[in-house]
Amino acid sequence: MSRVCKMSKNVREVFRLDELKDDIRRNMVALLGNDPRSKRKFSYYNALAYSVRERLVDLWMRTQSDYYDSMAKRVYYLSMEFLPGRFLMNYLTNMGIVDECREIVAELGFSLEELEEEEWDAGLGNGGLGRLASCYLDSMVSQNIPGYGYGILYDYGIFYQSIVNGNQEERCDNWRRHGCPWEITRLDTLYEVKFYGRSETYYDSDGNVRFRWVDTENVMAMPCDILIPGYGCSHVSNMRLWTAQSSREFNLSDFNRGDYIGAMHGKVMSENITKVLYPNDQFLQGMELRLKQQYFLVSATFQDILRRYLKQHTSLAALPEAVAVQLNDTHPAIAIPELMRLLMDVYGMGWDVAWDICTRTFAYTNHTVLPEALETWPVDLLGRLLPRHMQIIYEINRRFLEGVAATFPGDTERLSRMSVIQEEGGQRVRMANLAIVGSHTVNGVAALHSNILQTGLFRDFHEYYPRKIRNVTNGVTPRRWLMQCNPALSRLITQSIGPEWCCNLEKLRELVPLAEDSAFRDAWARAKLENKRLLSRYVLRKVQMGINPNTLFDMQFKRMHEYKRQLLNVMHVISLFNRIKDNPSADITPRTVLFGGKAAPGYYQAKLIIRLINEVARVVNADADVAGRLRVAFLPNYCISQAEKVVPAADLSEQISTAGMEASGTGNMKFALNGALTIGTLDGANVEIMEEVGAENIFIFGLKAHEVAEKRRSGYNPREFYENDAELRRVMDMIGSGFFSPDERGLFSPVYDSLMHHGDYYMLMADYRPYMEAQAAVDALYLDQDQWVRKSILNAANMGKFSSDRSVMEYARGIWHVEPLGK
Binding residues for ligand Z15, rule: CB under 6 A, are 126-129, 132, 281-282, 329, 367-368, 373, 445, 474, 662-666, 684
Beta carbons of 123 and 158 less than 8 angstroms apart: yes
What is the nearest approach in angstroms of ligand Z15 to the Cβ of residue 501? 23
Minimum distance of ligand Z15 from residue 760's CB (angstroms): 21
For the bound state, the minimum distance from the C-beta of residue 796 to ligand Z15, rounded and expressed in Å, comes to: 20
Select 28 or 133, whichever has its Cβ closest to ligand Z15.
Answer: 133
Catalytic residues: 367, 558-559, 564, 666, 670
By beta-carbon proximity to ligand Z15, the closer residue of 331 and 611 is 331
- Are 649 and 534 within 8 A, CB to CB? yes
Closer residue to ligand Z15 (CB): 128 or 718 = 128
In angstroms, what is the minimal distance from the CB of 450 to ligand Z15? 12
Residue 747 to residue 749: CA distance in whole angstroms: 6
Nearer to ligand Z15, 292 or 449 (CB): 449
Shortest distance (Å) from residue 286 CB to ligand Z15: 14
Per-residue buried b or exposed e for 474-500, using 16+ beta carbons within 10 Å of the residue's own CB? bbbbbbbbbbbbbbbbbebbeeebeee
- CA 276/CA 624 separation, integer angstroms: 46
**Contact predicate 64/1, CB 8 Å:** no
For residue 472, what are the contacts with CB-CB under 8 A and spacing of at least 6? 365, 443, 444, 445, 807, 810, 811, 814, 815
Q: How many CB atoms lie within 10 A of CB 674?
A: 26
Residue 611: partners with Cβ closer than 8 Å, 6 or more residues away:
166, 167, 168, 747, 748
- Residue 698 to residue 690: CA distance in whole angstroms: 7
The Cα 151–Cα 284 span in angstroms is: 19
Instruction: With beta carbons less than 8 A apart as the criterion, state whether 366 and 445 touch.
Output: yes
Whether 186 contacts 221, CB under 8 Å: no
Q: Which residues contact 507 (CB under 8 A, 6 or more apart)?
A: 497, 498, 500, 501, 800
CB 483 → ligand Z15: shortest distance, Å? 21
> Is the Cβ of residue 297 or residue 445 nearer to ligand Z15 in the bound state?
445
Residue nearest to ligand Z15 (CB): 128
Q: Label residue 232 left, alpha or beta by phi (over 0 means left) and psi (-120 to 50 means alpha).
A: left
Output the smallest distance, CB 271 to ligand Z15, in A. 26
Give the nearer residue to ligand Z15 in terms of CB position, either 608 or 663: 663
Q: How far is CA 585 from CA 50, 580, 581, in A?
A: 58, 8, 9
Which of the 8 DSSP states describes residue 199?
Answer: E
CB of 77 to ligand Z15, least distance (A): 13
- Between 132 and 812, name the residue whose CB sits nearer to ligand Z15: 132
Query: According to DSSP H, which parts of 365-512 are helical?
Result: 379-385, 387-407, 412-418, 431-438, 447-452, 459-464, 478, 487-497
Minimum gap (Å) between residue 583 Cβ and ligand Z15: 39
∠ CA(770), CA(772), CA(778), 5° rounding? 105
Give the span between the Cα atoms of 770 and 546, in whole angstroms.
31
Judge whether 496 and 514 are in contact, CB under 8 Å: yes
Q: Where are the beta strands (DSSP E) in 54-121?
A: 74-78
Least Å distance, CB 339 to ligand Z15, is 23
Residue number, 446 or 515, with CB nearest to ligand Z15: 446
Residue 336 near residue 395 (C-beta atoms within 8 A):
no
Q: How far apart, in whole angstroms, are the C-alpha atoms of residue 401 and residue 200?
A: 26
Of the two residues 128 and 387, which places its CB atom closer to ligand Z15 in the complex?
128
Nearer to ligand Z15, 397 or 664 (CB): 664
